[in-house]
Amino acid sequence: MKNEKIIEIAKKIIDIECKNIEKIKDNLNNSFVEAIECIYNMKGKIVITGMGKSGIIGRKISATFSSIGIPSIFLHPGEAIHGDLGMVTKQDVLLVISNSGETEEIIRIIPIIKKIGAQIITITSSKNSTIGLYSDIIIETGEIEEADPFGIIPSSSTTCALILGDAISLTIMAIKGIQKEDFAFYHPGGNLGKRLMLKVKDFMQTGDKIPKVNINNSLEDAIREINDKNIGFTLVVDNNGKLVGIITDGDIRRFLLKQSDIKKGKIEECMTKNPKTIQEDRLAVQAIAMMEKLEITCLVIVDEENKPKAIVHLHDLLGKKEFGIEY
């Protein structure tokens, strides 16, 4: 088969799946809102079930819920009838994934779930299916066109179920106001958790590493300090050691455009007043976000008397292994 034909087939498959995704987006209605309210207000956990490929999607959705602090488990329908139904309580919500709505293994456990008293939400193609009729809330996708040539291999349907699961979990995340710190709490291992939990104090430079000149020094002294410390700036302090300004490479260049004789320049004429500061117990990702927003490369940590205590540079943050980036 020619390369062009292979690409053509792949694009057609993607087009079919994209078309189905657009369809389920257009079909979102009050049932979705009811599902969100049901899960948001539940007293127990969300139990997700599905058979075969839908079960694989269900496991992923369950993992997403757990990762944002919403208790969730996956219940295999085949194992459920052999004792695992004991996992389900009346405080729980059962989320069923079944494109046809006729999955035999799930139909067998639904009446017992109803007796237990858990509410049932189903993602299915038809509200008139057997499982749909048993459910309290139905997120109806409409008929889904599978992407394989025969229209029988779970492809578009599982993609749509996955996306709806993400839509449910991440919408609830937004409503609950779950922050990066909360997410990181459930990811203490690995780079993601480290990246989100590390604080400014884990990266800041102190002592002799802080570039610093007195406001009464010459501009040449400031340039020399910038050159010696080699991080592109120097802080400016008054006679009491309090922070009053900052001089960057850019400040020097802008000054020279106005005044070519550096010896005639004064630090106060060149510096930028009121440098941006940050507390050392703030998260490192917050420092990065602040620098990006302000389009700067450094922040100052000051003590109670507004004296420079430390600095944190963008290169220090992005150069750490914990951030997954190394120079």
Residue-range domain boundaries for the chain: 3-178, 200-323
Confidence band for 311, pLDDT divided at 50, 70 and 90:
very high
Confidence band for 324, pLDDT divided at 50, 70 and 90:
very low
Confidence band for 283, pLDDT divided at 50, 70 and 90:
confident
pLDDT of residue 23: 95
Q: Is the pLDDT of residue 123 over 50?
A: yes
The torsion angle over the Cα atoms of residues 132, 58, 119 and 36, rounded to 10 degrees, is -100
Secondary element (H or E) of residue 81: none
Over range 292-311, report the average pLDDT.
Answer: 92
Over range 234-262, report the average pLDDT.
Answer: 89
Q: Is the pLDDT of residue 173 over 80?
A: yes
pTM: 0.64
> Taking Cα atoms as reference points, which of 192, 171, 168, 169 lies closest to residue 181?
192
Which range has the worst mean pLDDT, 28-32, 52-56, 204-208, 285-289?
Answer: 285-289
Q: What are phi and psi of 72, to 5 degrees?
A: -150, 145
Over range 304-327, report the average pLDDT.
Answer: 73
CATH class of the region 200-323: alpha beta
Q: What is the mean pLDDT of the chain?
A: 90
CATH assignment, 3-178: 3.40.50.10490
